Amino acid sequence: MNKRRMPRVFSIRITIISLFIVAIVVPFLFFSYYTNSKSIEGISSANTSFSMESLFQKTKALEDYLMGINYRANDVLTLPKIEALLNQNPGNEQEQRAFASSMATLLEEQQNLLDVRKLQFYPIDLENYPEYQKNDGANISREPWFGSIKENGEPEWKLFLPQDNYYLYPEPVISRIKRVDNTSTNKPIGIFTIDIPVENIKTFIEGTQGQEGQQTFLLDENGFVIYHRHKELIGANYDSPELHHLINEKAAGTETFNIEGSKSLVSFVKLHQIPWTMVSSIPLDTLTKPIKKISQLTYIFLVIYILFGLSIIFYITYYFTNPIVRLVRSMRMLENGNFKIALPASKREDEVGMLYRGFNRMVQKIQELIEEVYSSAKIKKELEFQVLSHQINPHFLYNTLESIRWKAEQHRMVEISEMVESLGNLLRLSLNQGMELTTVRREIEQVKAYVRIEKARFGKPVKIIWMINESIMDMPILRLLLQPLVENAIHHGIRENPESGKIVLLGKREGNDLVFELSDNGVGIPERTLQQLNQTLQKESTVDKGSKGVGLFNVSKRLELYFGEHYRLQISVEHGKGTRIIIRHPVLPANNDTGTIA
């Protein structure tokens, strides 16, 4: 026979470790990841809202500033002195010099009022004015932007760098370029430029000091940098296809992508009246820096927690599971029939020690029980032999009673004959061929046989009224239910006054139950006796043979055992007026002829 392989002691330890990982470590890691991602999401969302609101404010302030300069420049062009000077058409060199001097004086005055870098006027046919701005305007007429605005007349904002063929400023400037038409002929007469240093818009774009790594810059409609903190980027095409794609699709928005070599949260807003876009970017590392510190502390705590937990697990498995494994091994030996085993004595006062001592006591008790069962089996065999040798054949008893009845009839002793006949019927119906079930009809015959015997004993009539519904007479019922009740009514109800005493037995069907009600008009059961009887009916154990109500208790207990507590006897008493007992019995299948209850 193959021995069952014992599980290794480490299997329980591995199970506990696995449960520890599944129940604690995995949820802890998931919770850490979830809170970290949600924190980043929340910070990004908050920063997005803040960035967008800040960008909207900055774009509005910048646009108000630039358009304010534009509006004031328009006012300058409508001044009477400027308008009169523009309507002149200088011819010779002397007139051109006078025109240039007068225009320069007027523009310088307005330039200081506008607070701009330079306010300049170029005649539309600049090549016809050789004396006008010889130093810095000689080649302006050849610039593409000059020819473009000369032709279409659309004003524009343009960035000029120091290396461009314009005013050689040491810093980049933003120019508002606008064509001027004659108010009488509507013909173009010149082009005005208003130069603003790029540094002038710095405060509108950068504002207060932002977070570490945060950058805010300005792009034109072609993706060239108008302003950037890093001056070397001004005028260059900003190298970010994703950003250009977003700007072309939306007027404002926020996305996360790589920009300037790091993954950043990028927000942008387009200006309404100027085709520029203000962009703000902040590296995600800057946003998540506080969370990373928390995450590091969390991971350190998790490692310490796991090490501490594993130490506890190893302690538990070594101190508790090893003794349990030894106990299981001994139990397996006990299963194989080896009762001569004993665990080593344990002085531990915990549950393990109690298990060890309990197992040893159990093994000892099993050995004692085996010996006791063996002895009891031997005695039982002897008793069975004695019972078999002393059994009386019921047919012999029936034949003997029949012979007594026949002798009584021969000697014309009718009472003896009837009494013996009733006793024989009572015995036959009570035994019921060893079957537990009988019918209502046979049960009523048994009760009637018992009543005839009692009449003969008393020498006085016993008045019983039978009110049994014929439809239930052939229904199955437990045997010996009604006779103990009638016996109780005769002996404790009407025995003292049989002449006026009366017993009524009612039988009917109510739904799925058979209901039998036995009532008498005797003196009734005393209150104290009734309480004792009810308490007896509620007990789980049997009563003493000498106690009152043994028959009632047996009937109630049989009904309860077979059909449940709902079918206990119901006893009610009106002192001086009699007793009423109700039996409820479930309706059983009519074809149940086995004598057993399914």
The tens digit of pLDDT for each residue in 49-87 reads 777 888 888 889 888 989 888 888 888 877 887 777 777
* The pLDDT value given to residue 225: 92
Going from the C-alpha of 443 to that of each of 335, 425, 469, 542, the distances in angstroms are 51, 11, 14, 24
Are 246 and 385 found together in one domain?
no
300/345 same-domain check:
no
Tokens for 557, please give them.
Answer: 């207990």
Is residue 304's pLDDT more than 90?
no
Domain boundary among 390, 407, 426: 390
For a pLDDT cut of 90, what percent of the chain falls above it?
A: 10
Q: Could you tell me the pLDDT band of residue 44, with boundaries at 50, 70 and 90?
A: low
Q: How many domains does the chain have?
A: 3
pLDDT band at residue 386, thresholds of 50, 70 and 90?
Answer: very low
Check residue 395 and give its pLDDT: 46
Residues 162 and 81 in one domain: yes
Higher-pLDDT residue of 297, 430: 297
Place of tokens 């507590």: 565
**Percentage of the chain surpassing pLDDT 70?**
77
* Predicted confidence band of residue 47 (pLDDT cuts 50, 70, 90): low
Residues 6+ apart with CB under 8 A from 183: 83
**Amino acid occupying residue 594:** T
Q: What is the pLDDT of residue 591?
A: 64
Q: Mean of the pLDDT values across residues 276-292?
A: 80
Q: What is the mean pLDDT of residues 350-365?
A: 78
Q: Which residue has the tokens 């069975």?
A: 384
- Confirm whether 51 is domain-assigned: yes
pLDDT confidence bin for 587, thresholds 50/70/90 = very high
8 A C-beta contact, residue 92 and residue 83: no
CA 485 to chain centre: 60
Residue at 457 is within a domain: no
- pLDDT computed for residue 400 by the predictor: 59
What average pLDDT is seen over the chain? Answer: 77
Identify the three-state secondary structure at position 257.
strand
* Structure confidence by residue, pLDDT tens digits, 230-240: 888 898 999 88
Give mean pLDDT, residues 157-177: 81
Amino acid 39: pLDDT: 67
Q: What is the mean pLDDT of residues 441-470?
A: 84
Residues 293-307, buried b or exposed e (16+ Cβ, 10 A)? eebeebeeeeeeeee
Query: E strands of 22-94, at which residues?
Result: none
SS3 string, 110-148, reads HHHHHCCCEEEEEECCHHHCCCCCCCCCCCHHHCHHHHH
Mean pLDDT of 114-139: 72
The answer to whether residue 489 is domain-embedded is yes
**In this predicted structure, which of 129-143, 158-172, 302-316 has the lowest mean pLDDT?**
129-143
Instruction: Select the highest-mean-pLDDT range: 3-12, 312-321, 358-367.
Output: 358-367
Boundary-marking domain end, from 294, 312, 330: 312
| Mean pLDDT calculated for residue range 145-168 | 82
Of the candidates 135, 134, 123, the one whose C-alpha atom is nearest the C-alpha of residue 91 is 123
Q: Which of 142-156, 334-348, 379-393, 457-471 shows the lowest per-residue confidence on average (mean pLDDT)?
A: 379-393
pLDDT digits (tens, 9 = 90+) for 188-228: 888 888 888 888 888 888 866 556 778 889 999 999 999 99
CATH of the domain at 145: 3.30.450.20
| Per-residue confidence (pLDDT) for residue 224, from 0 to 100 | 92
Residues 229 and 266 in one domain: yes
Neighbours of 547 (CB within 10 A): 12
* Same domain for 269 and 379: no
pLDDT computed for residue 315 by the predictor: 76
Residue 426 lies in a domain: no
Same domain, 150 and 210: yes
Nearest Cα residue to 478 out of 565, 564, 591, 588: 588
| Domain-embedded: residue 332 | no
pLDDT tens column, 394-449 = 544 555 565 566 666 666 666 666 666 666 666 665 555 557 788 999 889 888 88
Kindly state whether residue 541 falls inside one of the protein's structural domains: yes
* pLDDT value, residue 45: 65
Q: Which domain CATH number covers 545?
A: 3.30.565.10
**Domain-embedded: residue 2:** no
Identify whether residues 176 and 63 lie together within a single domain: yes
Whether 167 and 220 map to the same domain: the answer is yes
Q: Are residues 257 and 383 in the same domain?
A: no
| Per-position b or e across 400-427, b if 16+ CB within 10 A of its CB | ebeebbeebeeeeeeebbbbbbbbbbbe
- Please state the pTM of the whole predicted model: 0.47
Whether 435 is in a domain gets the answer: no
Report the pLDDT value the prediction gives residue 470, as an integer from 0 to 100.
93
For 589, phi and psi rounded to 5 degrees? -55, 135
d(CA 339, CA 336): 9
- Residues 199 and 243 reside in one and the same domain: yes
Whether pLDDT at 1 is above 60 = no
User: What is the DSSP-derived secondary structure letter of residue 11?
Assistant: H
Distance between CA atoms of 196 and 219, rounded to whole angstroms? 16
Confidence check: pLDDT of 392 > 50: no
| Residue range of the domain that includes 470 | 463-586
- Same domain, yes or no: 242 and 365: no
Q: Where are the alpha helices (DSSP H) in 250-392?
A: 284-316, 322-335, 351-390
CB of 119 closer than 8 Å to CB of 73: yes
Do β-strands 464-468 and 503-510 pair in parallel, antiparallel, or remain unpaired? parallel
Note the pLDDT tens digit of each residue in 498-516.
777 889 999 999 999 999 9
Q: Give me the pLDDT at residue 417, please.
A: 64
Question: Are 347 and 306 members of one domain?
Answer: no
